[in-house]
């Protein structure tokens, strides 16, 4: 089969030599007394899959249209996590990833899978709707280190919601599909699919509602334990449950059992999709997501109890919320994925992802040391704006603040900070006919304009988000101390399905003459509420 192979030289061009940050997140699950409380990540970490390599655990997550893609986290105890790297630097297979001739919203990495084999890390994912509603591609990335460099192979095959599996004889397979599940064997060099897929589960309806209906099983991950093949997969959509299939052969026949069915921690939304990992002492744990609406798909950690040869999650399929930490043999320091960035180094923190591919010539951390400079790119609105820099909003409630120097804005420029999804809202400084104003825009409509002096040409903008009513409120300051509410409330939504709201920094221009304008961002700081 023909395929496209793309060598990625490391995540250097998009974010520079991305460095970790030591700033703490508002939420940490570690109670400090040997227990933890779910969720372990109170932000958008959908479709988690997890492995152990030596004494280290690695988790990968879906990232859709955000760049770099396929975020990989690292932990010593499955509770305290930090960023390790990204498997995809950027997407160059379609100009729409550059927001040219359209966009690729929701079409980046889906349902990531991670495995380690013969000294190498492998991350796979699917990209739906490649050039039509019923088309897609499968990608497999490989590296010796999660920090890269990574090699990405793009297959012509559409392996939906893939689960990569290496058998004991060294053969590699991908489990994929929705409703009816299939196995595809990979070539020895892992660069193509061998033969046709084999259907191993095809039950579009079952007398037990838990296994049938429109929301068929998907997001499969396979394990071989004590000579048997185990396949875990969610069913029932975001309100669903976790199913396990079991067989003596990879091709079946399979028997089944529901191993988790609990939505008590967030009524209406069950613990849904994830992966299983074994500790060095033999214990098993499961990381599984739960949809928390516009805040994101948060990650939960569940103990596994083997009952009659089945891996039951939590307390016999129910979540107790607080558990004793995994027995890894050593107490680990409290860590969380970074949030804050003072923009004082030559690289952005790993918490940042761009909306689609950035234009590397129109942003800089070195033109003015201590600031991130965003040169204005032409766009009609924020949806089309290149070099929009984002990171996850945090639950249950959090507040993001930026300081921006707007001295170099030009006519048509819109430079600011907001909460991005569909709908989106922001506070920005605009310039028209040489006059600058502060505006609040909600879903593309300006709802308040303020004519305010900006001493030293600086503005501070703050956004507060909460999961109580999925709302975001906005404030501005001209001195960095006194903040004033502005505009109205954003009712955070999910117009881009399966992708949470994000904090967003941007500078675009509606006037092509304004492309020589720029905004300097001094810092981003996130605090709990």
Residue by residue, DSSP assigns 203-241 as -S--SSGGG-SSS---S-EEEEETTEEEEEEEESGGG-E
* Residues 192 and 272 reside in one and the same domain: yes
Which CATH number do you get for residue 421?
Answer: 2.60.120.200
Query: Considering the domain boundaries, does residue 21 fall inside one?
Result: no
Structural domain of 402: 353-528
Q: What is the DSSP letter of 349?
A: B
* Residues 241 and 294 reside in one and the same domain: yes
47 has catalytic annotation: yes
* Residues 158 and 255 reside in one and the same domain: yes
* Residues 133 and 245 reside in one and the same domain: yes
Query: Considering the domain boundaries, does residue 334 fall inside one?
Result: no
Which CATH number do you get for residue 68?
Answer: 2.115.10.20
Indicate the residue among 268, 303, 324 that finishes a domain.
Answer: 324
* Residues 420 and 305 reside in one and the same domain: no
218 has catalytic annotation: yes
49, 161, 218, 520: the active-site residue: 218
Looking at residue 215, its pLDDT comes to 55
Could you read off the pLDDT of 308-320 as tens digits, one per residue? Answer: 999 999 998 889 9
* Residues 304 and 360 reside in one and the same domain: no
Query: Considering the domain boundaries, does residue 99 fall inside one?
Result: yes
* Residues 424 and 508 reside in one and the same domain: yes
Burial 392-423 (b: 16+ CB within 10 A, else e): bbbbbbbbbbbbbbbebbbbbbbbbbbbbbeb
* Residues 446 and 491 reside in one and the same domain: yes
Q: Rounded CA gap, 521 and 458, in Å? A: 10
Query: Considering the domain boundaries, does residue 332 fall inside one?
Result: no
* Residues 289 and 367 reside in one and the same domain: no
Query: Considering the domain boundaries, does residue 345 fall inside one?
Result: no
Domain count within the chain? 2
Select from 413, 284, 351 the least CA-distant residue to 73. 351
Query: Considering the domain boundaries, does residue 341 fall inside one?
Result: no
Burial 456-481 (b: 16+ CB within 10 A, else e): eebbbbbbbbbbeebbbbbbbbbeee
With 0-12 CB in 10 A as exposed, 13-18 as middle and 19+ as buried, what is 351?
A: buried
Query: Considering the domain boundaries, does residue 330 fall inside one?
Result: no
With 0-12 CB in 10 A as exposed, 13-18 as middle and 19+ as buried, what is 78?
A: buried
Tokens read off for 449: 């304009």
* Residues 307 and 375 reside in one and the same domain: no
* Residues 360 and 309 reside in one and the same domain: no
* Sign, Cα dihedral of 448, 296, 71, 111: negative
* Residues 367 and 268 reside in one and the same domain: no
Q: Rounded CA gap, 147 and 2, in Å? A: 28
Indicate the residue among 271, 303, 324 that finishes a domain.
Answer: 324
pLDDT per residue rounded down to tens, the chain (529 residues): 334 333 333 333 334 333 333 344 568 999 999 999 999 999 999 999 999 999 999 999 999 999 999 999 999 999 999 999 999 999 999 999 999 999 999 999 999 999 999 999 999 999 998 666 667 999 999 999 999 999 999 999 999 999 999 999 999 999 999 988 999 999 999 999 999 999 999 875 444 555 544 357 899 999 999 999 999 999 888 788 899 999 999 999 999 999 998 887 787 788 989 999 999 999 999 999 999 999 999 999 999 999 999 999 999 888 999 999 999 999 999 999 999 999 999 899 999 999 999 999 999 999 999 999 999 999 999 999 999 999 999 999 999 999 999 999 999 999 999 999 999 999 999 999 999 999 999 999 999 999 988 988 999 999 999 988 999 999 999 999 999 999 999 999 999 999 999 999 999 999 999 999 999 999 999 987 6
Query: Considering the domain boundaries, does residue 36 fall inside one?
Result: no
For the whole model, what pTM was predicted? 0.93
44, 47, 261, 263: the active-site residue: 47
């Amino acid at each position: 089969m023909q395929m496209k192979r793309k060598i990625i030289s490391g995540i250097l061009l998009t974010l520079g030599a991305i460095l970790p940050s030591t700033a703490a997140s508002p939420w940490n699950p570690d109670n400090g007394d040997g227990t933890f409380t779910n969720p372990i990540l109170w932000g958008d970490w959908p479709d988690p899959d997890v492995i152990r390599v030596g004494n280290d655990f690695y988790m990968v997550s879906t990232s859709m249209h955000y760049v770099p893609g396929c975020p990989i986290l690292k932990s010593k105890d499955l509770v305290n996590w930090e960023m390790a790297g990204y498997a995809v630097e950027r997407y160059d297979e379609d100009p729409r990833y550059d927001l040219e001739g359209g966009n690729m919203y929701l079409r980046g990495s889906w349902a990531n899978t991670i495995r380690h084999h013969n000294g190498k890390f492998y991350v796979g994912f699917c990209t739906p709707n490649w050039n039509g509603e019923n088309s897609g591609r499968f990608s497999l990335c490989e590296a010796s280190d999660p920090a890269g460099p990574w090699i990405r192979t793009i297959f012509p095959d559409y392996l939906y919601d893939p689960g990569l599996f290496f058998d004991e004889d060294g053969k590699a397979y991908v489990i994929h599909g929705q409703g009816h599940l299939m196995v595809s064997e990979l070539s020895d060099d892992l660069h193509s699919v061998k033969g046709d897929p084999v259907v191993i589960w095809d039950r579009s309806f079952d007398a037990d509602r838990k296994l049938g209906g429109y929301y068929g099983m998907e997001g499969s991950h396979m394990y071989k334990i004590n000579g048997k093949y185990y396949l875990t997969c969610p069913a029932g959509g975001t309100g669903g449950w976790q199913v396990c299939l079991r067989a003596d052969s990879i091709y079946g026949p399979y028997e089944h059992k529901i191993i988790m069915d609990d939505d008590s921690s967030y009524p209406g939304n069950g613990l849904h999709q994830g992966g299983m990992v074994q500790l060095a002492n033999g214990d098993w744990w499961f990381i599984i997501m739960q949809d928390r609406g516009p805040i994101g798909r948060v990650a939960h950690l569940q103990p596994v109890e083997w009952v009659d040869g089945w891996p039951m999650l939590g307390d016999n399929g129910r979540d107790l919320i607080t558990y004793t930490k995994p027995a890894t043999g050593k107490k680990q320091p409290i860590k969380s994925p970074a949030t804050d960035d003072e923009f004082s180094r030559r690289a952005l923190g790993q918490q940042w992802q761009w909306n689609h591919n950035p234009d590397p010539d129109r942003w800089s951390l070195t033109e003015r040391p201590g600031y991130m400079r965003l040169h204005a790119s032409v766009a009609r609105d924020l949806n089309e704006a290149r070099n929009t820099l984002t990171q996850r909003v945090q639950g249950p409630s959090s507040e993001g603040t930026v300081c921006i120097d707007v001295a170099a804005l030009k006519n048509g420029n819109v430079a600011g900070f907001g909460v991005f999804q569909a709908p989106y809202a922001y506070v920005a400084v605009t310039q028209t006919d040489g006059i600058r104003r502060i505006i609040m825009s909600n879903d593309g409509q300006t709802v308040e304009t303020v004519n305010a002096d900006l001493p030293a040409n600086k503005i501070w903008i703050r956004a507060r988000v909460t999961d109580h009513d999925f709302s975001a409120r906005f404030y501005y300051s001209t001195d960095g101390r006194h903040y004033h509410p502005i505009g109205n409330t954003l009712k955070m939504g999910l117009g881009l399905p399966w992708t949470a709201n994000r904090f967003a920094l941007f500078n675009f221009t509606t006037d092509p003459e304004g492309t020589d304008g720029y905004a300097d961002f001094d810092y981003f700081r996130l605090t709990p509420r």
